[in-house]
Amino acid sequence: MNLWEQLSTGAHGLADHPFRTFLTMLGIVFGVAAVIAMVSIGAGAEREALEELKRFGANSIRVTARPVEGERLKEVVKKLARGLSVADAAFLRANCPFLEAVVAEKVTAEKVYAFGRKPLATVVGVDGGFLSVSRLEVAAGRFLTASESAEAAQVAVLGAGVASEVFGAGVGAAGNGAGGAEDACGQVIQVGRHRYRVVGVMREQTKGRGKLAIKSRDHDRDVYVPLPAAQRLIFPWPLEDKDEYHEVSGLWIAVREGYDLPAVRDTVMRLLKRRHREVDDLEALVPLEILQQSQKTQQLFNLVMALIAGISLLVGGIGIMNIMLASVNERTREIGVRRAMGAARRDIVVQFLAESSLISLIGGALGILVGIGLSLGIAAYTGWTTVIPASAVLVAFTVSLTVGIVFGLFPAIQAAKLDPVIALRYE
């Protein structure tokens, strides 16, 4: 009796109770669907993390100035402490061979006016070298040159969001809007009380979904100006304003390859703290570390999901076993007849295994479809990235077949172990 005949015999057995078979199948359908959905979320998170890493760079450290205010400000001023400064950046550049680049930025509260509009924008003063360290790209025109930075020239580069708000939608968007962005170049906008010429527009940033714990401002809303120009914008100077303790608001640091990022961060922070007279006024952030942290969280999440999917498959398998035991029981006489006609124990085992495998295989196939639907639904509803790898489909199929065989084995063996004479007389 070949496999095909066994399967067709099994199909006959299942067709006797279509509704019961369907209900049993549902257990496997949901189990497999859960596996598929779980894997797709995990794979999606993985892909997102890789993209995020690409965005921030695997070798970057961000140092951010922490506001110092009130009584504490008075205290630190007494110590003659100065906040984060251009000099700090220069010091690091000069003394730390393991750093590839150190770029300072000054985030100001200045307002931007252009063509009668007041776009939502953050005026940021940056050093030369910002472009490469930040991994941002220019869509049209050019970025600030080193000489412009040094001379505090009154030129600006607009973030894509600001440019499109002022000069029309689509500016700075990847692939199109070059014309609009070109239009923006050469125009004059007002920053605070000064007039700046626009020399370039940034490319729209690929947005993270906010699922990862890296905080960053929306760079599409940035307006970049030379750092000295930004410092000049701030007037009068200095005040006992919390903003003015720090000369610059942050450093973008790129570390050379082969150095341990957390160790470099600790060194940099120690150096800076010493220069700041042991005032604790900075914080440092390593995107890679945060990503690794979030990946650990994701792994835990995946584990829990796998557990849930596994439990639902287990429940599905128990359902199969339950139904197969009932089936063996109600077909005791059939087993006796088949045995009398010459069916060996093995034939009976295979017959019932064929039935349970059919349930789980068909259930598995349906489950894969439901799982794909579920994964698309999750992506649409939560905005998470979900990816269904081909391997997941293969694994789900294998797992469901295994469940069918494993949970069908016990009832099948029970059936084969029946005494043929007693089975024949069973009423």
Partner 1 sequence: MMIETRGLHRHFRLPGGEVPAVDGIDLEIRHGEFVAIMGPSGSGKSTLLYVLGAMDSPTAGWISVAGQRLDRMTDHQRSRFRNTTLGFVFQSFHLLPRLNLVRNVELPLLYAGSPGAVRRARAGRLLGAVGLPEHAERFPTELSGGQAQRVAIARALVNRPQVLLADEPTGNLDSRTGLEVMAIFQALNRGGMTVLMVTHDEHMARHAGRILRLRDGRLVGDETVDRPVQAALPAGFDLAGLDLEAGGTAAGAGSPGGPDGRADGRGDGWAAPDGPAPVPGKGGLPGEGTPAEDRGSGDRPGDGTRAGDGTRAGDRPPGEHVGTGPRQGGGRTEGGRS
Q: Which residues bind partner 1 (CB under 8 A)?
A: 1, 5, 12-13, 16, 333-334, 336-347, 419-421, 424
Q: Least distance (Å) from partner 1 to the CB of residue 361?
A: 21
Considering the complex, what minimum distance in angstroms separates the CB of residue 390 from partner 1? 36
- Three-state secondary-structure class, residue 384: coil
**Cα–Cα distance measured from residue 422 to residue 282, given in angstroms and rounded to the nearest whole number:** 84
Q: With respect to partner 1, which residue has the nearer C-beta, 281 or 334? A: 334
Residue 360: closest CA among 327, 322, 401: 401
Q: By C-beta, is 307 or 421 nearer to partner 1?
A: 421
Identify the burial level of 187 via C-beta atoms within 10 angstroms of its C-beta, where 0-12 means exposed, 13-18 middle and 19 or more buried: middle
In SS3 terms, 266-304 reads as HHHHHHHHHHCCCCCCEEEECHHHHHHHHHHHHHHHHHH
Based on CB atoms, which residue is closest to partner 1, 79 or 346?
Answer: 346
Question: Nearest distance from residue 328's CB to partner 1, in Å?
Answer: 15
Q: How far is the CB of 419 from partner 1 (least distance, A)?
A: 8
DSSP β-ladder status, 222-226 and 155-158: antiparallel
Distance from chain centroid for Cα 58: 15
| Minimum gap (Å) between residue 425 Cβ and partner 1 | 9
Task: Specify the residue, 86 or 424, whose C-beta has the smaller distance to partner 1.
Answer: 424
Least distance in angstroms from the C-beta of 323 to partner 1: 17
Q: What angle do CA 230, 105, 143 make, to 5 degrees?
A: 80
Q: Which is nearer to partner 1, 208 or 420 (CB)?
A: 420
Which residue's CB is nearer to partner 1, number 215 or number 333? 333
Residue 49 CB, nearest distance to partner 1 (Å)? 55
State how far the Cα of 188 lies from the Cα of 183, in Å rounded to an integer: 11
Which residue, 2 or 95, is less far from partner 1 as judged by CB? 2
Which is nearer to partner 1, 57 or 420 (by Cβ)?
A: 420
DSSP letter for each residue of 208-231: P-S-S------GGGEEEEEHHHHH
Contacts of 63 (CB under 8 A, 6+ apart): 84, 250, 251, 253, 268, 269, 272, 282, 283, 284, 285
Largest distance between two CA atoms of the chain: 106
By C-beta, is 337 or 378 nearer to partner 1? 337
CA distances from 49 to 42, 265, 304, 376, 389 (A): 11, 21, 19, 19, 16
Residues 140, 178: Cα–Cα separation, whole Å: 6
343: helix, strand or coil? coil
- Residue number with CB closer to partner 1 (136 or 328): 328
Minimum CB separation of residue 411 from partner 1 in Å reads 18
The rounded distance, in Å, linking the Cα atoms of 220 and 233 is 21
User: In the complex, what is the shortest distance from the CB of residue 417 to partner 1, in angstroms, rounded to a whole number?
Assistant: 10
Least distance to partner 1 from the beta carbon of 210, Å?
Answer: 58
